[in-house]
Structure 1
Amino acid sequence: MSGSLPEGFQIDLSIEAVGWSDETRLEKIVTRAVAAAFAATDLEVQRGSEVSLLFTDDDAIRKLNMEWREKDKPTNVLSFPGSDPQDDVYGPLLGDLVFAFETITREAEELGIEFDDHLSHLTVHGLLHLFDYDHQENDEAELMESLEKTILATIGIDDPYADRPLVAEGS
């Protein structure tokens, strides 16, 4: 079960760093992950909503992480929510997700998983943040991780948290 995108939903991709796959391949990976998230949950968006994805590098994401989160280090994905929801329906500007190539590559290697699977996981993770899911507290982290595992399982990706401790800290 992978599902499809909500009617009129748009994914806007921008690549601004070297190392990333071509846009067609990235679009396939993230569209599959986003569609699975909508199919496996009750996330609701206005018709014609959009999410923007920026594929960048560690230096650029480190600067954003410092500016917005006061953390002077690169991270794998940052989420920037867009429009405020109306009665739990989000959009039309869902928000922005920013991905760092070097960090994602390093993490995938360290975890012994495929790059595409890790990027899919981070896409789902970032998307859930745009819908106000968080992992600052253990109960929030448990809920968010449970949703991630459920969504990823629908597209054949193993539990990304298996054999790893619960992470209740901002990503």
Structure 2
Amino acid sequence: MIRYELNQSRLKGGRRVKEADVARTLKAVSEALRLRRDTEISVAFVSEKQMRAFNKEWRGKDTVTDVLSFGRLERAEKAERGEMAEILICYEQAKRQAEEMSHSVRDEILFLLVHGILHLSGYDHERPADAKRMFPLQTRILTRLGVDPRI
């Protein structure tokens, strides 16, 4: 099971993500990945300015992105020693993407959360062979959550 810390302190004016949605999403991912051990992640919402800085520093891209994942899913004991994986989500970018694709911000954020956790689990989509592994699993998880996987 994936345990988590959720930091929404940067979100103002009712822009909160329901904790129940996050918990349900992490449970679905845990089951899909058949995780047999407790792992722990941190999920934080950051501003556009912060996301752009992180994206430039870690990916060499001077632009805002929707989600970044750092680290790998680790045993809970390692997380307690500060070796926790982290997912950063830019709410403003997620909102823009949701509006462009005509779906809810909630669904966009759940999509980004699933996508980020799969990256933390070693999945990637840079090469076609990797994408063929990652995207069907992502689709199954999103469908189970009732989120349109075509986001």
TM > 0.5 fold call:
yes
2:140 paired residue among 143, 147, 150: 150
Provide structure 2 residue ranges, at least 5 long, that are not aligned to the other structure.
none
Aligned length: 144
2:71 paired residue among 81, 101, 118: 81
The residue aligned with 1:26 is: 18
**CA distance 1:41–1:101, change in 2 (3 Å):** same
Instruction: Tell me the TM-score normalised to structure 2 length.
Output: 0.86
Alignment RMSD:
1.8
Q: What amino acid sits opposite 1:142 in the alignment?
A: K
In structure 1, C-alpha distance between the alignment counterparts of 2:93 and 2:132, rounded to whole Å: 24
The residue aligned with 2:37 is: 46
Segments of 4+ moved more than 6 angstroms: none
Percent identity between the two aligned chains: 31
In structure 1, C-alpha distance between the alignment counterparts of 2:133 and 2:149, rounded to whole Å: 14
Provide structure 1 residue ranges, at least 5 long, that are not aligned to the other structure.
1-5, 84-89, 162-171
- Write 1 or 2 for the structure with the bigger share of helix: 2
SS in 2 for 1:154: helix
2:95 paired residue among 82, 90, 105: 105
In structure 1, C-alpha distance between the alignment counterparts of 2:121 and 2:3, rounded to whole Å: 16
